[in-house]
Structure 1
Amino acid sequence: MRRFILRENIKHFHELLKNEQDPVSQDLLIKMLAEAQHELSRLESIWLWTCPKGAVPFEVGAAVEAALDAIIERSKADFGSVQLWNDDTQGLHLIAHRNFDTALAEQFALIRDGVGTTCEAAMISRAEVIIEDVEKELGLEALLSWTRPAGIRAIHTTPIFDRHGKFIGVFSTQYCAPRSLAPAQRRRNGDHAEYLGAILERTR
């Protein structure tokens, strides 16, 4: 669940608690409020750790999160992420993700050359990297160390460019089952990358 949705839920739970008289319902709302606050705290800690290094304003990060949610829904993916290139650190910084646990978020907080990820491959090739089934592709031992624990079988990674054609990041969708990329989805990924590029240009 995204941070901005959690914030709205927390506000809603507080309002409900003000007017709720039934003790059982109050206990349930208090439990739901505590869970939402805990999850928001976890996501905020990851955000504060990764995004200042990528120099991403809060409003840009929120817009990227909303765009990623839409991409995930349209592609019916199980996971997703957006990473922004930073010239100073010479790496890709994780600025938005969906369904990553803390371990995955920490692992992909900063990607540099030589780590063998699809993000790195898309950065180098400046082209989409499509892995239909990580279990059947050769030479992907580095990926298997994290895809197997997460239950990921397919990865689609698309580079993001600004309006001048400069590489500025990547977005990825991950799937729990083998997944090819149909021509229509490839075109949509191009549209998604263009839209994300327009948002991320605001960090430049």
Structure 2
Amino acid sequence: MRRERHDKKSKIAIVAIAASAGGVTAIRKVLSGLPGNFPAPILCLQHLNPSETNVLAQVLQLRTELTVRWAHDGEQLTAGVVYVCPPGHYFVVHANGTISLAAQASKHGWHHGVNHFFESVAQSYADRAVVIVMTGTGKGGAEGVRAVSAQHGIVLAQDQASSVADGMPLAAIATGCVDQVLSREAIASLLVSLVCEGKPLSKAQVSNKRSSQSTRLPISPTLLDALENVLERAIAMHRTDMGYIHLFQRQTCTLELAVQRGFDPALIDNMQTVSIGEDSPCVRALRGGETVIVEDIEVAPNFAPHRAIAAASGYRAVQSTPLTSRTGSLVGVLSTHFRQPRRFLQWEMKLLDMHARHAADLIELFQAEKVG
């Protein structure tokens, strides 16, 4: 399907992103909030292991209307395309709108590569560039943002609270060259304001609306990132677009929402805190210690009290699987929801058990660290 062109109102001609630990989820958050007709190319330099087969471009493509693909040496940049740098390389951007892929000199070359990448953006695009330093370890990019700032480009950094690792953004902030520090959820709205709407930074709007996947629980960004990835895989496996993970709070005997996807933000309060006295699928799964499946909520008699919420949310079937630690403790529930009545195959349930096992291990690990 042909994509409509965006009427470019801004002088911004390139967006450059660099990230390391936790960057995949963070970059996906940004890309998912941008329109498919975004009027500038986006270059993503994510720290990758050169020795492993990588599907980063395919993973990023899952939740964005933009075209995402691996970058090629010497190609011309195109608006609305996200270019992912191959492992073991970094971007060199040229003033004629082409890119080169330079090999990293050593195992520590990635951090130097971020600086060279940003410096080339500064030299080639000057005040027509936006660079973003996202979650990551080390100090990669600090020298590069100085070069961008010196050329009057815009420098953004992810905030500490939403970063899995804060080394890179804090190093950038310490230079005094960062124009705004933002949560990963707020970056997309600022880019839309700057690049699509052509507003100057001083008047650009940042959405402070709570993310549809956010939680009121005091969860570390690392655990939040891991749980979002688990939920994403479970949703993809079930070929749906809705689901959530609740964590069990023993002190209050409630299930508290950790991550969710696909639900209207206005309806999240209905699922934020669930008392174990309720008769919902997630609570029944927790109490019974086994998966609860409702193939069609319209005909399930014990789902009658929840039909109005289900109708408002737009789902007709649900499964809830308890998350059990290695020691046998119940730590949460993983649920996926479906817009049509649904029957489950045996292989699907086996895979779901694997995802639930992984999620429970992650929760138990972080709870143990918190206690320790």
**Class of the TM-score when normalised by the shorter of the 2 chains:** 0.7 to 0.9
1:43 aligns with 2:211: yes
Give the structure with higher Rg (CA).
2
Which position in structure 2 is the counterpart of 1:153? 316
- Name the amino acid aligned to 1:6: K
User: Do 1:132 and 1:155's aligned partners in 2 also have CA atoms closer than 8 Å?
Assistant: yes
Q: How many residues align?
A: 189
Which position in structure 2 is the counterpart of 1:167? 330
User: Do 1:162 and 1:168's aligned partners in 2 also have CA atoms closer than 8 Å?
Assistant: yes
1:172-191 to structure 2, matched below 5 A, reads 172-191=335-354
**Structure 1 alignment gaps of length 5 or more:** 21-25
CA distance in 2, matches of 1:126, 1:152: 24
TM-score (norm 2): 0.46
Displacement of 1:114: 2.3
Displacement of 1:97: 0.4
CA separation of 1:108/1:60 partners in 2, compared to 1, >3 Å: closer, same or farther? same
CA distance in 1, matches of 2:286, 2:242: 20
User: Do 1:158 and 1:170's aligned partners in 2 also have CA atoms closer than 8 Å?
Assistant: yes
Per-residue CA deviation, residues 10-60 of structure 1 (Å, 9 max, x unaligned), is 8x59x899526xxxxx652658x978x52x74218943xx212xxx22210
User: Do 1:46 and 1:105's aligned partners in 2 also have CA atoms closer than 8 Å?
Assistant: no
1:105 aligns with 2:268: yes
User: Do 1:116 and 1:143's aligned partners in 2 also have CA atoms closer than 8 Å?
Assistant: no
Structure of higher RCO (CA pairs closer than 8 Å, 6+ residues apart): 1
CA distance in 1, matches of 2:198, 2:29: 15
SS in 1 for 2:297: coil
CA distance in 1, matches of 2:264, 2:326: 33
User: Do 2:213 and 2:260's aligned partners in 1 also have CA atoms closer than 8 Å?
Assistant: no
CA distance in 2, matches of 1:68, 1:200: 13
CA separation of 1:117/1:103 partners in 2, compared to 1, >3 Å: closer, same or farther? farther
Which position in structure 2 is the counterpart of 1:6? 29
TM-score (norm 1): 0.81
CA distance in 2, matches of 1:114, 1:9: 36
**Structure 2 alignment gaps of length 5 or more:** 1-23, 34-41, 44-120, 130-193
Displacement of 1:130: 0.3
Displacement of 1:181: 1.1
Which position in structure 1 is the counterpart of 2:189? none
User: Do 1:122 and 1:158's aligned partners in 2 also have CA atoms closer than 8 Å?
Assistant: yes
Aligned-residue RMSD, C-alpha: 3.1
User: Do 2:247 and 2:331's aligned partners in 1 also have CA atoms closer than 8 Å?
Assistant: yes
Which position in structure 1 is the counterpart of 2:355? 192
Per-residue CA deviation, residues 67-90 of structure 1 (Å, 9 max, x unaligned), is 111111111122010000111121
Which position in structure 1 is the counterpart of 2:240? 77
Between Structure 1 and Structure 2, the one with more helix by share is 1
After the TM superposition, which parts of structure 1 deviate over 4 Å for at least 4 consecutive aligned residues?
Answer: 7-10, 15-18
Which position in structure 1 is the counterpart of 2:54? none
CA distance in 2, matches of 1:164, 1:187: 20
Larger deviation, residues 179-188 vs 103-112: 103-112
1:128 aligns with 2:291: yes
